[in-house]
Amino acid sequence: MEILRVENLSKAFKKFKVIDDISLSFEKNEIFTLMGQSGTGKSVFLKLVLGLLKPDRGRIIFQGEDITHASDQAWIEIRKEMGMLFQNGALFDSLNVFENVSFLLTEHLNISHEEKVERVYKLLMEVGLKGIEELYPSELSGGMQKRVALARTIALNPALLFYDEPITGLDPITAAVIIRLIRELNKKNKITSIIVSHSIKTSLEISDRLGLLYRGKLVALEEAEDIKNSKNKYLKQFIEGSTKGPIEVFLEETV
Ligand SMILES: Nc1ncnc2c1ncn2[C@@H]1O[C@H](COP(=O)(O)OP(=O)(O)O)[C@@H](O)[C@H]1O
Ligand SMILES: [Mg+2]
């Protein structure tokens, strides 16, 4: 069953088309990875779907409802169902872990302090953390910050979760922990997961389906099991990390 669909989604900044007529549908409870080089519009795509940027053209259908032009009021409800783990964790530096994780609970639910304490404890346990409620983000490692951010994101039990580069910048072991968590949340809490990543290895490991963005276009879309034998030239080049193929390589590029 479909949970989210974008139709002819387009977004330009000045004259520069970042997302160019993308149509794509996501299935309930799948793990989908949208791959692509830096600067191909992956984060912009997520921001469009999350209503943080407005598309120039196209429609976004979430759980059967057209949310493209949803009001701010409507978005309050939609945001309970759709979470996002931002690239940089984006914890509030001036709030401790308890305040960070309980942020959405405080915003959206009318529950007692005792209940909040209990919920935060459980949420932290879900991401493998304990007894750090009083600490501030600056006192945590990068991996712990990611996990706290994840606990905060799942507080309202969203149906759909976006992960923007969830393991970029993490050491391999911490990355493995985050990947296991994404899988667990997908299985246990039935959270549909849309990951944005430029890491091919992890993408192949974790996803049911993968898409490849290039210059604002969706140039490949495959089931994970078909990737290895795919004839798609873009996909082949991206996976092999080759300089030869339809993806233009600028050697002077520093990013
Ligand atoms: N708010 C913005 N205003 C202008 N240009 C932007 C904005 N956000 C992103 N861009 C540009 O859009 C392109 C894609 O960005 P982004 O989606 O962040 O790439 P990535 O695939 O690395 O996540 C980049 O060239 C970036 O500079
Ligand atoms: Mg990005």
Instruction: Specify the range with the lowest mean pLDDT, choosing from 61-75, 135-149, 236-250.
Output: 236-250
36 lines ligand 1 (CB under 6 A): yes
Is the pLDDT higher at 88 or at 203? 203
Is residue 116 domain-resident?
A: no
Is residue 254 domain-resident?
A: no
Counting ligand 1 atoms within 8 A of each CB, the residue from 35, 38, 43, 195 with the most, and so the one to mutate, is 43
For the chain, how many structural domains are there in total?
1
- Alpha carbon separation from 225 to 3, 27, 206, 214, 236 (Å, rounded): 22, 17, 11, 22, 14
Is the pLDDT higher at 9 or at 244? 9
CA of 252 to the centre of ligand 1 (A): 19
Range of the domain at 65: 2-91+159-240
Q: What is the pLDDT of residue 240?
A: 87
Is residue 98 domain-resident?
A: no
Q: For a pLDDT cut of 70, what percent of the chain falls above it?
A: 98
Neighbours of ion ligand 2 (CB under 5 A): 42-43
Q: pLDDT tens, 31-41? A: 999 999 888 99
38 lines ligand 1 (CB under 6 A): yes
Q: What is the pLDDT of residue 254?
A: 52
The answer on pLDDT for 255 being more than 70 is: no
Is residue 44 domain-resident?
A: yes
Q: What are phi and psi of 41, to 5 degrees?
A: 100, 15
CA of 196 to the centre of ligand 2 (A): 8
CA of 136 to the centre of ligand 1 (A): 30
User: What band does 202 get if pLDDT is binned at 50, 70 and 90?
Assistant: confident
Q: What is the CATH number of the domain that holds 216?
A: 3.40.50.300
44 lines ligand 1 (CB under 6 A): yes
Q: What is the pLDDT of residue 125?
A: 95
Is residue 55 domain-resident?
A: yes
Is residue 120 domain-resident?
A: no
Counting ligand 1 atoms within 8 A of each CB, the residue from 10, 17, 18, 247 with the most, and so the one to mutate, is 18
Cα dihedral 166, 167, 170, 173 in deg (nearest 10): 120
Q: pLDDT tens, 74-118? A: 998 998 899 999 887 689 999 999 999 999 999 888 999 999 999
Quick one: 215 exposed, middle or buried, by C-beta within 10 A (0-12, 13-18, 19+)? Answer: middle
Q: DSSP for 67-78?
A: -TT--HHHHHHH
The answer on pLDDT for 252 being more than 70 is: no
Is residue 143 domain-resident?
A: no
Is residue 131 domain-resident?
A: no
